[in-house]
Amino acid sequence: MTEKELMLSGQLYIAKDEELTEEFMRAKRLTRLFNNTTEEEAEYRAQLLKELFGKTGENLYIEPSFRCDYGKNISIGDNFYANYDCIIVDVCSVSIGDNVFWGPRVCVYTAGHPIDAGIRNTQLEFGSKVSIGNNVWIGGSTVINPGVSIGDNVVIGSGAVVTKDIPSGVIAAGCPCKVLREINEDDKRYWEEQAKKYRENKRTE
């Protein structure tokens, strides 16, 4: 197996490989171009992101600055928004569903390193894929660790360090991140009422 094949399959690999270096440098070029754009270049920004990522849906928006390792290993659904200073270390696949919104400085890490120092010092490393479902809000400064899966309809509180899977339909927060409670019908009724008040306020303008 090539180093890239080992990397993507979650096995030990060495990143200093010609193929991986070429793809890494491609991502560096595209993210540099993206991060140097101005607010008047929205279409160009979207074009760069679509070239960078493996798969994108409709309505993709990321605030510069943004960093990733390869880009090709990132798949994003419709209606994605990431605020400032997002980092995705995508040595394995990162799958993001529809209607996912991130606060500032959200970081997703798929890279891992051996606990044994002797093996780690040989530059061997590995990765574990990350999956994020649909309708997920992730608060600012959250860190999502390798191998984590987050379900649908989830809210992650700011500053969380997500080390284990999060099921669908919950609010979770903390370091390490833990489920606080399920999202329920009371939440739905409350926010529908707030939205109704908003619409009423707009009609009176």
Residues forming the active site: 113
Residues in the chain, total: 205
Q: Which of 145, 84, 161, 87 is nearest to 112 (CA)?
A: 145
Q: Per the omega criterion (within 30 degrees of 0), is the bond before 146 cis? A: no
Residues with Cβ within 8 Å of residue 71, at least 6 apart in sequence: 26, 27, 30, 31, 52, 53, 54, 90
Degrees, nearest 5: CA angle 111-113-115: 150
Pairing type for strands 170-173 and 178-182 reads antiparallel
CB atoms within 10 A of CB 172: 22
- For the sheet containing 130-132, what is the strand order? 74-76, 94-96, 130-132, 149-150
Degrees, nearest 5: CA angle 117-10-170: 100
Return d(Cα 203, Cα 36) in angstroms, integer: 40
